[in-house]
Structure 1
Amino acid sequence: MQADTTQPVSGAAVTGSHAEDYPVSGNIAATAPGKLRVIKRNGTVVPFEESNISVAITKAFLAVEGGTAAASSRIHETVAKLTDQVANTFRRRMPSGGTLHIEDIQDQVELSLMRAGEHKIARDYVIYREEQARKRAARKALSPATQEAAGQITVVQPDGSRALLDLERLHTIVTEACANLSDVSASQILDEALRNLYDGVTAAELSTSLVITARTMIEKEPNYTYVAARLLCDNLRAEALGFLGIAHLATQADMTELYARALPAYIERGIELELLDPALRAYDMDRLGQALLPDRDLQFTYLGLQTLYDRYFIHSNDVRIELPQLFFMRVAMGLANQEDDRNARAIEFYELLSSFDYMSSTPTLFNAGTLRPQLSSCYLTTVPDDLYGIYGAIQDNAMLSKFAGGLGNDWTPVRALGAYIKGTNGKSQGVVPFLKVVNDTAVAVNQGGKRKGAVCAYLETWHMDIEEFVELRKNTGDDRRRTHDMNTANWVPDLFMKRVFDDGEWTLFSPNDVPDLHDLYGSAFEERYAFYEEKARCGELKVHKTVRAQNLWRKMLAMLFETGHPWMTFKDPCNLRSPQQHVGVVHSSNLCTEITLNTSADEIAVCNLGSINLPQHVDENGLNLDKLQKTVRTAVRMLDNVIDINYYSVPQAERSNFRHRPVGLGLMGFQDALYKQHIAYSSDQAVAFADRSMEAISYYAIDASSALAAERGSYSSYEGSLWSQGIFPIDSLDILIQQRGADYIQVDKSETLDWPGLRALVKTRGMRNSNIMAIAPTATIANITGVSQSIEPTYQNLYVKSNLSGEFTVVNPYLVNDLKDRGLWDGVMVNDLKYYDGSVQAIDRVPQDLKAIYATAFEVEPRWLVEAASRRQKWIDQAQSLNLYINNASGKKLDITYRMAWYSGLKTTYYLRSLAATGTEKSTISTGNLNKVSSGGQQPAGPAPVPAACSLDDPDCEACQ
């Protein structure tokens, strides 16, 4: 029933002081005293009056059939007949009189309508009764004071008009938001939110009040993060559906119908606004619309949904036209656009994304299905040693950054400070002045207006400019020779590390004097390096410098400790274990140190990323291998599709990507997967799980790529690769051991799966992709899916995370649930966690086993991080973004940790995170303020503060996410 004037008798339609409680019989005159009487819902008793039954049934008919003359005659006759039937039913039951409840009368009206064949009237009558029941529940759920206050509030609508506060609708959406969640209270949210409202509040402020109220409760009960997300989703529905002209103020229950209607409208409007690719029209919208799963809107945390809203959903004039399931379907359609059965594949991809079992990287989520689908995450370039090439590389940086790519630049070929320039008969200014330009370019050209540009410069340790290079991030010195906004990384050859271990000397060169060192690694590099050292000793090389290796190493560590840069990455394991060493050299990693692909003047390496949500594949029996295999197979197909669909802003990138077809399948939520199994990060069990889980991912990813090769053909440079020789990542460890020497490496080589069988398959089918695996930081997509980032240990068990979307209280739900199970979760525990900066170690009430499981990042010894990473690295054909956390950092601790990283066969490391003094603003919900356990205190120690690691809470570094 659509209009109030045509609905069955309600509070507004019946006279009397209690009319709202008596929609059938009303407040009637006593026509039959001593006979039938009616008990109202408020407990009062009134005489039975059949005329009110007649009125109620009449209004039900009018609501459905209207008031035409033809309808009027039929309605009058039918209503009279039905009224008699209802009244006579009760008179037969109670011939001597008695009392009956109002609900009994309404039940009988429904039954009479059904028996008379008036099914549509009966249906609307049932719906109306349910609406009235919800309204009564809404009123009863609130305190009397709140009900009274709510009755005085008018809400300013978007068009400027005013309307009374719709308390019933508020109750509906808050009740929906709390559905199937334990330890949350809809009435508490409503009472708290309404207490802070005022007459003339805007509709937007009203919605925000509900969301903020739920947010403030997260620190005491983690499930409120889902409540806040669902309340936010109500705002999104109003915004997106209103823009699409489909519905206004729809509830979650309405989306079962509305999502299917919204999809074609959204696609058409997006194409009209030139935001979406017209090719999306070719899909079967009815089939795809029916495949949308509205209930998956309910799995978001507040941080996840707010992140999508702020940075991912397509918008026009700052109005979002996407909803969560439309967003996932748009991405899926974009990735399936060139499939033979695009509809089936789009549904397959959508189900994987929307389930959170796997998530594509940020550029893919941004741009899939749009007019310019730049879907790749990372670009690696080598900068040549000439002015035209240098500025061409900087222009390439700008073009790649414009369309949301993260950059890694190899600067080793550029001649050093003081080197001779034949063309001008002058001396070079070295690498550093050019890096200043690169830094400013990254700031000037942001990533599609969605986030800042991000670039990392790599320099090999023998370069003459290395000592100045490591100081680029210092806050002191000549600012013209500082780069405060870009990242830097050391590209360290094994020979240097051997000299450090053996306390030997190290010689620095200008690359124009030793041009072949750039492309050499392993024993070939060592032989040639020794040759150039001898030439330098004989005076044949003018530009060189000899230093003690340990002194340079200490300076590298000191700058890493002080500024967080340059990161430590290792040249030889990246090359010796590369499947593609037959066609090129890995000269650097990428922005986040997980990509290890060949680069040259003719090829810019490109990598397309996505991550498996590991805890989604852990059940009561541990790792669910069947589900994991299914996820990996679809994920690899999606990643391979990116290569063909991708927009390439520079030709060298397109040439490289089509020739080698590399992808980077990674994982996230490793810490959550440990929690689900009650395994402590600092344990042999965690190391074993890191080993076995990565082995399974590697096995299934190689198999999936090989199966794609059987379907689509191998990548063009396959012949001669390690794959073609039957040498898998686990086998390439032998190459590294042989070249480095067994005294300088210790790695585990155990395996559990049928690797010989897989080698035989690859020998027959080939490989679709030159590289398949890489573990990215996943900061943003982990936020979206509500799990821990990448392979990171938990930062803190309770803290406030800050990023471009605002501040978000983060509580470890696994800890809370375990404490609840033991009767230990209460307000005192919340305050204790705040006081101890999210750590449980000093809280006496927490049992020792939980203290071990819920140790935070700085409470996990670095050796466990390195050991788990070493076990993963043996299975990965690329690398992993590995942050290292060191409590009470010292030169000795850093020295041991980074030597151990190299000795354990790691290819790269990422940020160093060391614990300095923390600052905590202690507050509670009772003060009306959000908890403010500061994350800002967790910074690398030293005189110059460093931005937080990309994988934690730095919003500027998300290109690999």
Structure 2
Amino acid sequence: MSQVENTQIRIDDLTLLITKPGQLRVIRRDGELAQYDDHRIIAAIKKAFLAVEGENAGNSDRIQEIATQLARNITERFKTRWPDGATIQLESIQDLVELELMRAGEHQVARTYVLYREKRREARKALENQVVEKPIHVILSDGTRKKLDRHILSNLAVDACQGLNDVSPTQIIEDARKNLFDGVAMNDVYKALVMSARALVENEPNYSYVTSRLLLQDIYREALTALNVPHDLSQQTMHILYPKAFAAFIQQGIQHELLNPNLREFDLEKLGKAIDVSRDQQFTYLSIQTLYDRYFIHRHEKRIELPQIFFMRVAMGLAHCEGKDRDARAIEFYQLLSSFDYLSSTPTLFNAGTMRPQLSSCYLTTIPDCLDGIYGALKDNALLSKFAGGLGNDWTPVRAMGAYIKGTNGKSLGVVPFLNVANATAVAVNQGGKRKGAVCAYLETWHLDIEEFLELRKNTGDDRRRTHDMNTANWVPDLFMKRVFNKENWTLFSPDETKDLHDLYGDAFEKRYCEYEEKARKKEIRSKTLPAINLWRKMLTMLFETGHPWITFKDPCNLRSPQQHMGVIHSSNLCTEITLNTKSNEEIAVCNLGSINLVNHMKNGKLDAIKLQKTIKTAVRMLDNVIDINYYSVPAAKNSNLKHRPIGLGLMGFQDTLYLQNIAYASHEAVEFADRCMETIGYYAVQASSELAIERGTYESYKNSLWDQGILPIDSIALLKKTRGDEFLKQNTSATMDWDSLRKQVKKHGMRNSNVMAIAPTATISNIAGVSQSIEPTYQNLYVKSNLSGEFTVVNPYLVHDLKQCGLWDQVMIHDLKYFNGSVQQIDRIPAELKIKYATSFEIDPAWLVEAGSRRQKWIDQSQSLNLYMAQPSGKKLDELYRLAWIRGLKTTYYLRSLGATSTEKATISDDKLNAVQVGIVAPKACAIDNPDCEACQ
């Protein structure tokens, strides 16, 4: 055999290896494919070290070891990201080399490597005009090979950029060509356009809309093909195709038992005509990718749902109970959802219109003190979690360690072993195949097992007495806080000997607690006494170290509850915004959530009260419908929901509205706006529920409620103050709207819903709407968000706009923002007023968050998911902050977010790749700001 033939065989073998499924491949700069080889990475890293340390370092074992380890890290990152193989651009590998050198602390070597890359880049640029571009052939889905029509790329890029400022279709096409090679699949050509637009988001936020529109073309092709709708996107518009796709979706969805057959009862032609195709243009990249990955209905891994069909499906699912008005109501609901004026919570978006319409967000249960009851409650947890419900479990009734067990004449191991089982159940039950189950366990502060409960999330100790995947929260009575302030002792009891204590609050609790303390002094019951301040310090220490347990306050939740005539609130929910009564084996509290997009209700820099009133009226109706349509997997949940009909109307985009008004979060103006906007929402929410009561009747347990007594949420502050006294409650009670007339209306017509307001975290639905989360301050002005859908560059568009106005938005500014982790505080050329306006969550004194939360709380009949941020916590700071939260009348708090020595997520300088460096955040493992595992309330 000749040398030429030998060479040919080796080349063919290499080609087979490169194109073998599951392999990592590299696109060289000449467009050719090459085999991924980490030895080349090792060589490149060693060269960078030699450039710094000299040629004598060439034989250093240290350098060889470092280079090998860094190369291994890079390879593992690629394999983790693309377990099925991928084609990687050479620049992406070099980006990771920079990143790993920085992570390893080799800053000088990394800088040398960056300079070398820049030098090589300039050299290539100088030769660009001399290079003759080779023709590229593409492989179509049927295997046909044809020359790439570059006009297709141009048309797609131009259409995607239409109507957007400061974006360039030419730039997108040029960058996309770098990722193309001869023989590339046509689908990968489309992906190259998406990836090139995505890489430009950090330069100009509008590229997020461009990326979304390019991705939509892929989604259109996939869904229309799966629905067997003939299409040619280059010749037909989606205005023609959408109604056809909608009709096909309903037909096939019912046929394949994905959709509820009752959707046939709608006038599909009428609804199809109501679809507004132009609203597909309003999605950001993050929002459309999130919808595609987790919300759109699919069959055999192929999406059969398009964005506007998705919103119409949800609207139909919520309007089916409207009788002969169902078509008109479905269109009304669709208009609200598709405009992003209001969005239902994730379970509703997941399941509305499907065979199992589990639409409710939150479930609260009380665990009884018996084996049958405990395991029955765990079964309920599994069934409720199965269809995407978030859980709050009250474990206080379960007897403490060492308590006597009459049936076996033995002693109890306490509540902790059962919590470990609950933790395992949450992990085992996958929520509809979309995310892990999520649960929070609550324990009242006088429980004898409280000290061990505080340590459940520690990484050390006996793993059988740890719950690494379950959230925990303290249920704190006012008496404990008073004793902390007064530096008095606190006594712990076992609930089997103090059975009524958990069902008492206010003065009745205090009286009974003191009686039990007297019994304890006489040794009539088991107890443990310790300084209240010591237990308080341990609570704060664990909160800082593990992010748990959260701190929630029992008495304000109960004393201000409209439903105190029907029982006791024993805990909050998974995200601490729901405060509803529970009763063992009888009532599982259920709440149904949705959030108003405040940004869409701003007009000329002010809140548009007229539009807000209209939105809230429809939103309350939608939430009330959820109660009747909902699929209940547990009878006790159905019993509770139909009896009390609670809903939780919240908000999102609060930080964005401050930007629109040129208001800093850390300001009295922001606190005042928090007050006024929540007053407006609260007023119209109560009004809407009362008007609905005229049409549909009051909820079953309305009589003797606070509503029935003419006591509105703002009035209930007086009930709390009466018990606490002026010394321990300092909460603003100012009002600006005509509440007297609303009291009369409620007194006359009643309420359709026992509770109407709750502010959820909205982490996911705010992504869909493209606004800031809930009531959260800005996390960082430039960072990379990681979730189940991938990594997304997040740039503060308001900051970019203001910097453009000042002539300061350029590449240097982008690099500065990356270097300073999205903070503007250390960038000298940014004006002082913008530094105040664009302070991020860890740069704001958390007391401002408490003050704003207090103003909102006075209007809310339930609670709010209030995260608190502290860059450098100390015992003194935490003590002051949580005392302030109690004094200001907050019902609950959520996570304490704190930073380590370095920042949370560092955006790395990159031409065409999105990177995030995770560095030392002291935060819990579950339910993080951008963690999709906790979406029940989102």
TM-score (norm 1): 0.83
How far did residue 247 of structure 1 move? 3.3
2:368 corresponds in structure 1 to 384
* Cα distance change on mapping 1:755 and 1:921 into 2, 3 Å: closer
2:603 pairs with 1:625: no
2:439 corresponds in structure 1 to 455
Tell me if structure 2 keeps the 8 A contact 1:189–1:214: yes
2:343 pairs with 1:366: no
Correspondent of 1:277 among 239, 260, 264: 260
How far did residue 616 of structure 1 move? 1.0
- Tell me how far apart the structure 1 counterparts of residues 130 and 579 of structure 2 sit (CA, whole Å): 61
Q: Deviations over 1:626-645 (max 9, x none)?
A: 01101101100000000000
2:933 corresponds in structure 1 to 956
Q: What secondary structure, in the 3-state scheme, does the structure 1 residue paired with 2:566 have?
A: coil
1:692 corresponds in structure 2 to 676
Tell me if structure 1 keeps the 8 A contact 2:689–2:753: yes
- Tell me how far apart the structure 2 counterparts of residues 314 and 664 of structure 1 sit (CA, whole Å): 26
1:121 corresponds in structure 2 to none
How far did residue 285 of structure 1 move? 1.2
Correspondent of 2:634 among 650, 656, 671: 650
Tell me if structure 2 keeps the 8 A contact 1:415–1:510: yes
Tell me if structure 2 keeps the 8 A contact 1:176–1:252: no
- Tell me how far apart the structure 2 counterparts of residues 948 and 840 of structure 1 sit (CA, whole Å): 29
2:534 pairs with 1:551: yes
The 5 Å alignment of 1:768-779 reads 768-779=752-763
How far did residue 166 of structure 1 move? 3.0
- Tell me how far apart the structure 2 counterparts of residues 867 and 938 of structure 1 sit (CA, whole Å): 29
- Tell me how far apart the structure 2 counterparts of residues 492 and 249 of structure 1 sit (CA, whole Å): 62
Q: What secondary structure, in the 3-state scheme, does the structure 1 residue paired with 2:194 have?
A: helix
1:810 corresponds in structure 2 to 794
2:829 corresponds in structure 1 to 845
Q: Deviations over 1:657-694 (max 9, x none)?
A: 00000000000111011011110000000000000000
2:317 pairs with 1:334: yes
Residue type of the alignment partner of 2:268: M
1:179 corresponds in structure 2 to 162
The 5 Å alignment of 1:517-536 reads 517-536=501-520
Residue type of the alignment partner of 1:571: K
Q: What secondary structure, in the 3-state scheme, does the structure 2 residue paired with 1:214 have?
A: helix
Tell me if structure 2 keeps the 8 A contact 1:609–1:666: yes
Residue type of the alignment partner of 2:531: R
Deviates more, 1:554-563 or 1:171-180: 171-180
Q: Deviations over 1:865-913 (max 9, x none)?
A: 0000000000000000000001211011110000100110000000000
How far did residue 619 of structure 1 move? 2.0
The 5 Å alignment of 1:700-779 reads 700-779=684-763
- Tell me how far apart the structure 2 counterparts of residues 146 and 452 of structure 1 sit (CA, whole Å): 55
- Tell me how far apart the structure 1 counterparts of residues 232 and 891 of structure 2 sit (CA, whole Å): 53
How far did residue 145 of structure 1 move? 8.0
Correspondent of 1:788 among 750, 772, 786: 772
- Tell me how far apart the structure 2 counterparts of residues 293 and 835 of structure 1 sit (CA, whole Å): 42
Residue type of the alignment partner of 2:393: N
1:300 corresponds in structure 2 to 283
Tell me if structure 1 keeps the 8 A contact 2:783–2:906: no
Correspondent of 1:579 among 562, 570, 583: 562
Residue type of the alignment partner of 2:767: N
2:876 corresponds in structure 1 to 892
Q: Deviations over 1:141-194 (max 9, x none)?
A: xx99899747x2222222322233232222222111101100000111011102
Correspondent of 1:318 among 272, 282, 301: 301
How far did residue 481 of structure 1 move? 0.2
| Unaligned residue ranges in structure 1 (runs of 5+) | 1-142
The 5 Å alignment of 1:127-206 reads 149=133, 152-206=135-189
* Cα distance change on mapping 1:297 and 1:252 into 2, 3 Å: farther
Residue type of the alignment partner of 2:909: T
Tell me if structure 2 keeps the 8 A contact 1:363–1:404: yes
Structure with the greater alpha carbon radius of gyration:
1
2:922 pairs with 1:937: no
* Cα distance change on mapping 1:467 and 1:332 into 2, 3 Å: same
2:544 pairs with 1:561: yes
Correspondent of 1:865 among 842, 846, 849: 849
2:931 pairs with 1:946: no
Q: What secondary structure, in the 3-state scheme, does the structure 2 residue paired with 1:729 have?
A: coil
Tell me if structure 2 keeps the 8 A contact 1:710–1:765: yes
Q: Deviations over 1:915-946 (max 9, x none)?
A: 212356664343x332x343x33622xxxx52
2:808 pairs with 1:831: no
- Tell me how far apart the structure 1 counterparts of residues 132 and 576 of structure 2 sit (CA, whole Å): 60
- Tell me how far apart the structure 1 counterparts of residues 771 and 920 of structure 2 sit (CA, whole Å): 20
Q: What secondary structure, in the 3-state scheme, does the structure 2 residue paired with 1:547 have?
A: strand
* Cα distance change on mapping 1:655 and 1:146 into 2, 3 Å: farther
Q: What secondary structure, in the 3-state scheme, does the structure 1 residue paired with 2:321 have?
A: coil
The number of equivalent residue pairs is 809
How far did residue 420 of structure 1 move? 0.6
Q: Deviations over 1:14-47 (max 9, x none)?
A: xxxxxxxxxxxxxxxxxxxxxxxxxxxxxxxxxx
* Cα distance change on mapping 1:853 and 1:473 into 2, 3 Å: same
Q: Deviations over 1:433-459 (max 9, x none)?
A: 000000000000010110010000000
1:136 corresponds in structure 2 to none
* Cα distance change on mapping 1:147 and 1:814 into 2, 3 Å: farther
Q: What secondary structure, in the 3-state scheme, does the structure 2 residue paired with 1:337 have?
A: helix
- Tell me how far apart the structure 1 counterparts of residues 688 and 133 of structure 2 sit (CA, whole Å): 62
Tell me if structure 1 keeps the 8 A contact 2:578–2:862: yes
How far did residue 236 of structure 1 move? 0.2
Tell me if structure 1 keeps the 8 A contact 2:818–2:909: no
2:449 corresponds in structure 1 to 465
2:481 pairs with 1:497: yes
Tell me if structure 2 keeps the 8 A contact 1:234–1:249: no
The 5 Å alignment of 1:352-431 reads 352-431=336-415
Q: Deviations over 1:721-748 (max 9, x none)?
A: 0000000000000000001111101000
Q: What secondary structure, in the 3-state scheme, does the structure 2 residue paired with 1:264 have?
A: helix
Q: Deviations over 1:825-880 (max 9, x none)?
A: 00000000001000001111111111111000001101100000000000000000
| Unaligned residue ranges in structure 2 (runs of 5+) | 1-126
Q: What secondary structure, in the 3-state scheme, does the structure 2 residue paired with 1:491 have?
A: strand
Residue type of the alignment partner of 2:924: V
* Cα distance change on mapping 1:344 and 1:148 into 2, 3 Å: farther
1:291 corresponds in structure 2 to 274
Q: What secondary structure, in the 3-state scheme, does the structure 1 residue paired with 2:515 have?
A: helix
Tell me if structure 2 keeps the 8 A contact 1:331–1:368: yes
TM-score (norm 2): 0.85
Residue type of the alignment partner of 1:275: L
2:643 pairs with 1:666: no
Tell me if structure 1 keeps the 8 A contact 2:231–2:241: no
* Cα distance change on mapping 1:938 and 1:477 into 2, 3 Å: closer
- Tell me how far apart the structure 1 counterparts of residues 863 and 412 of structure 2 sit (CA, whole Å): 34
Q: What secondary structure, in the 3-state scheme, does the structure 2 residue paired with 1:339 have?
A: helix
Q: What secondary structure, in the 3-state scheme, does the structure 2 residue paired with 1:705 have?
A: helix
- Tell me how far apart the structure 1 counterparts of residues 222 and 825 of structure 2 sit (CA, whole Å): 45
RMSD over aligned Cα atoms: 1.5
Residue type of the alignment partner of 1:569: T
Residue type of the alignment partner of 2:772: S
2:860 corresponds in structure 1 to 876
Q: Deviations over 1:397-438 (max 9, x none)?
A: 000011110000000000000011111111111000000000
Tell me if structure 1 keeps the 8 A contact 2:381–2:391: yes
How far did residue 394 of structure 1 move? 0.3
